Copies of this chain bind each other. A is one copy, B any other.
Amino acid sequence: MEADKLATLRAKLARISDIQGAYGLLSWDQETYMPPGATRSRAHQMSTLAGLVHQHYTDESLGELLQTLHDQGPNGSAEDSNEAAIVRVVWREFQKRVKIPMALIIERAEASAVGREAWKEARATSDFSIFQPHLEKQFDIAVRIAEALGYDANPYDALVDQFEPGLTYDLINEEFSALKPRLKALIDGIAANADAVDRSVLHRHYPAEDQIAFSRRLAEAVGFDFNHGRLDLSTHPFTGGTSYLDVRLTTRVEEDYLPACMMATLHEAGHGIHSQQLDPELYRLPFRYGLATAESQSRFYENIIGRSRAFWQHFYPLLQETFPQLEDTDLETFYRAINKSEPSLIRVEADEVTYGMHIMLRFELENEVINERLAVADLPEAWNDRMESYLGIVPPNDAQGVLQDIHWSQGGIGYFPDYLLGSIFSSQLWDTLKAERPAVEDEIAEGTIGPVTGWLAEKIQRHGGKYTFPELAERATGQPFTAEPYIAYLESKFGAIYAL
Contact = CB atoms under 8 A, between A and B. Distances in A.
A29 B25 CA distance: 9
Interface size class of A (residues with CB under 8 A): 35 or more
Interface string A402-426: 0000000000000000000000000
A243 interface: yes
B38 A18 contact: no
Interface in A322-350: none
A21 interface: yes
A19 B242 contact: no
Nearest to A34: B246
A29 B26 contact: no
A21 B45 contact: yes
A373 interface: no
Interface stretch (A63-71, A123-131, A225-233, A300-308): A225-233
Nearest to A40: B245
B245 A37 contact: yes
Interface string A18-54: 1101110110010001111110111011011101100
**Chain B CB within 10 A, most for which of A38, A49, A243, A247:** A38
A462 interface: no
Contact of A230 (B23, B35, B244, B246): B35
A14 B228 CA distance: 33
Nearest to A244: B41
Contacts of A284: 41, 44
Interface in A184-239: 225-230
A15 interface: yes
B49 A229 contact: no
B242 A37 contact: no
Contact of A35 (B37, B38, B44, B229): B229
Contacts of A283: 41
Contacts of A14: 44, 48
Given A22-B22, A26-B25, A40-B245, A48 B230 contact: no
B245 A49 contact: no
Given A33-B33, A41-B242, 11 more contacts: A18-B44, A22-B49, A25-B25, A25-B29, A35-B227, A35-B230, A35-B245, A35-B246, A36-B227, A37-B246, A38-B228
Interface of A: 14-15, 18-19, 21-23, 25-26, 29, 33-38, 40-42, 44-45, 47-49, 51-52, 225-230, 242-247, 283-284
List the 5 closest pairs (A to B, CB-CB), nearest first: A38-B246, A18-B48, A41-B243, A37-B228, A37-B227
